[in-house]
Copies of this chain bind each other. A is one copy, B any other.
């Protein structure tokens, strides 16, 4: 498909983590952006006998095209546990509510539950995710079938998956589709034995791959790891050689000085999950400090069982709001930095450098934001409007890899929403009967 957007405002990302708004046209050819400009000099794009036949021309009516959000940490199929186990501390929530019900999950369930999550991503302008879950054989197909971009990582732990499955998935999913990729990972230090961790390090080394895990999410996790190994989770996992090819940590709320040195040494990224960290009372990630240290930052919703929604607008407000509270400084983490984290920072963390911004040659992963809504007016500063007053209500269109998957409230992913809702209710209904 070749799609031409005209009469658009276009959000351009700058190297210094700020943005510029251009006015004009954005052209999509197949899976990528081939032109951004005012539509006059297009000689770079259309050589002499190369005329683009438009499948669709969209009048943006002055609305804003921006890079799609990257949801850099989530557990998509956990939609079935939304509003099922709230207002509990993390360990109790995990041990008493999550693990027993996950054990009742059938492989094919994860396919339908992932589609429900993908639908929610699209309503929030999210164009790719960094997904960790069990039973990946089934749920990977939800991405292929709907056309959503995903980076998978393993949730390997002492009870689920194996090193063999991890390596197999690494080889298979990286080749499966243009939309799917895979990096080695494990659930967390506190759920994964030392031999397994050493095995992950070997696989990472074999393929020169980065490694990702839940890291230092709660104070208790860090204290218990120190009691076990005399080191923080970051220090212990690094000591096993896991980050020789980079990678990063999800959450990273309770970091020590040495942990920050490790992040810098291995050029690792940190994904912050403020919605989940507030709801589970885990604490506030020191994003300001990490930013000052030059560490690449990204934002994730975490799974729908702990958040409970997959809404990057809420996460963006929380990133800046919580940083301001933590540092007691209303000027810290300005809107531009937060929007950069939610788009370019996420792309770099996920190994998707072609999805970081809107520019000719980049993948066409983008969103059209409805500015003709009261929360986007007046247009004093569009970036601040997005971060401080933006909402899912403003997402008019979400495009992944050049295809429109969501437009004006309609999902274009090949399934009937009502069927997905029915499936999700049936799955959790079946589990309730088991109790």
- Does A47 reach chain B (CB closer than 8 Å)? no
- The docked-state distance in angstroms from the alpha carbon of A328 to that of B218 is 11
- A330 and B391 contact, CB distance less than 8 A: no
Mark contacts of A197-215 with chain B using CB atoms, 8 A cut-off: 1 yes-contact digit, 0 otherwise.
0000000000000000000
- B377 and A116 contact, CB distance less than 8 A: yes
- B275 and A321 contact, CB distance less than 8 A: yes
Which chain B residues border A329 with CB–CB below 8 Å?
89, 281
- Does A339 reach chain B (CB closer than 8 Å)? no
- B331 and A88 contact, CB distance less than 8 A: yes
- The docked-state distance in angstroms from the alpha carbon of A171 to that of B329 is 42
Q: Is the interface of A mostly helix, strand, loop or mixed?
A: helix
A286 to chain B, nearest CB (A): 14
Q: Given A83-B380, A123-B373, A375-B310: A321 and B279 within 8 A (CB)?
A: yes
- B89 and A331 contact, CB distance less than 8 A: yes
- The docked-state distance in angstroms from the alpha carbon of A327 to that of B283 is 11
- Quick one: which of A87, A324, A374, A421 has the most chain B CB within 10 A? A374
- A388 and B83 contact, CB distance less than 8 A: yes
Q: Contacting chain B: which of A18-26, A66-74, A301-309?
A: A301-309
- The docked-state distance in angstroms from the alpha carbon of A385 to that of B81 is 11
A98 to chain B, nearest CB (A): 13
A16 to chain B, nearest CB (A): 16
Q: Given A334-B86, A384-B86: A378 and B80 within 8 A (CB)?
A: yes
Measured CB to CB, the nearest residue on chain B to A324 is B281
Contact of A330 among B280, B328, B418 (CB under 8 A): B280
- B421 and A377 contact, CB distance less than 8 A: yes
| 112-129 of chain A: CB within 8 A of chain B | 116-117, 119-120, 123
- Does A325 reach chain B (CB closer than 8 Å)? yes
- Does A381 reach chain B (CB closer than 8 Å)? yes
Contact of A418 among B116, B372, B382, B389 (CB under 8 A): B372
Contact of A375 among B120, B335, B380, B389 (CB under 8 A): B120
- The docked-state distance in angstroms from the alpha carbon of A380 to that of B427 is 11
Q: Given A281-B325, A322-B278: A84 and B381 within 8 A (CB)?
A: yes
| 300-320 of chain A: CB within 8 A of chain B | 304, 307-311, 314, 317-318, 320
| 361-383 of chain A: CB within 8 A of chain B | 372-375, 377-382
**A contact residues, range:** 35 or more
A43 to chain B, nearest CB (A): 36
Q: Given A278-B322, A324-B278, A389-B83: A417 and B335 within 8 A (CB)?
A: no
Measured CB to CB, the nearest residue on chain B to A278 is B321
- The docked-state distance in angstroms from the alpha carbon of A382 to that of B427 is 17
Which chain B residues border A390 with CB–CB below 8 Å?
309
- B378 and A119 contact, CB distance less than 8 A: no
- Does A158 reach chain B (CB closer than 8 Å)? no
- A281 and B393 contact, CB distance less than 8 A: no
Other than A83-B388, A86-B381, give 17 A-B pairs with Cβ distance below 8 A. Answer: A82-B377, A82-B385, A87-B334, A93-B330, A119-B374, A120-B375, A275-B317, A278-B322, A281-B332, A304-B389, A307-B388, A309-B391, A372-B417, A377-B420, A378-B421, A379-B425, A391-B392
The 7 A-B pairs of least Cβ separation, nearest first, read: A309-B389, A278-B321, A83-B384, A120-B374, A119-B374, A308-B388, A281-B330
